[in-house]
């Protein structure tokens, strides 16, 4: 290997590092935009509708990390269901993790599952999700969990 070969390899390495760092920064920025323009407006629409059913909801957000929606049992201060979207550490594309937590009864413990957010959608298409598609996904997970809880034999 000649002197110029290793220098070329070193240059390529540092170019790769720069590309990865740029991709990670762009992904964090995209996640923040996703939260601001899609997830938060979807949640606000859902929040208004849930009030009609006596269900309080809250939203928590940590910039470039996660957005978390919490649902309470009707007329209660006890949390019933959590829908949390996480941008995994060191992400270089908008491939989000969905953490779901729920309790069947106010006195039971939270059960947690984790899955890929909208697994049929490519990371490059996440920013194209409509507010209504987002609401439908939240409602579908919330509904499925609570219907299963109502019919479980536990």
pLDDT digits (tens), the chain, 154 positions: 566 788 999 999 999 999 999 999 999 999 999 999 999 999 999 999 999 999 999 999 999 899 999 999 998 899 999 999 999 998 999 999 999 999 999 999 999 999 999 999 999 999 999 999 999 999 999 999 999 998 887 6
Output the pLDDT for position 2.
60
Judge contact between 39 and 117, C-beta under 8 A: no
Q: How far apart are CA 6 and CA 115, in angstroms?
A: 42
**Predicted pLDDT at 152:** 80
DSSP 37: I
Alpha helices in the chain (DSSP H): 3-34, 40-51, 131-151
Q: What phi and psi values does residue 135 have, to the nearest 5 degrees?
A: -60, -45
Two structure tokens written together for 67: 């957005």
Task: Check residue 43 and give its pLDDT.
Answer: 95
For 78-128, list the strands marked E by DSSP: 79-86, 97-102, 111-116
Q: 82: closest CA among 54, 115, 58?
A: 58
**pLDDT reported for residue 134:** 96
The model's pTM: 0.88
Give, as one character, the DSSP assignment of residue 67.
Answer: E
Cβ neighbour number for residue 102 with a 10 Å cutoff = 22
**132 token code pair:** 């209504």
**pLDDT at res. 131:** 95
pLDDT at 128: 95
Locate the domains of the chain by residue range: 3-151
Q: The tokens of 90 are what?
A: 């060191």
């Amino acid at each position: 290997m000649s002197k110029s070969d290793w220098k070329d390899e070193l240059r390529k390495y540092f170019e790769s590092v720069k590309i990865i760092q740029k991709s990670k920064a762009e992904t964090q920025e995209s996640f923040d935009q996703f939260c601001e323009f899609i997830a938060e407006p979807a949640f606000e629409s859902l929040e208004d509708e849930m009030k009609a059913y006596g269900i309080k909801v809250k939203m928590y957000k940590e910039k470039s990390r996660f957005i978390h929606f919490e649902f309470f049992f009707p007329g209660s201060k006890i949390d019933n269901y959590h829908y949390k979207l996480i941008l995994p550490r060191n992400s270089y594309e908008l491939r989000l993790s969905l953490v779901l937590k729920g309790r069947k009864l106010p006195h039971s413990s939270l059960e947690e599952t984790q899955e890929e957010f909208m697994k049929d959608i490519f990371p490059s298409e996440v920013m194209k999700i409509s507010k209504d598609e987002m609401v439908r996904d939240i409602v579908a997970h919330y509904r499925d969990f609570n219907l299963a809880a109502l019919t479980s034999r536990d």
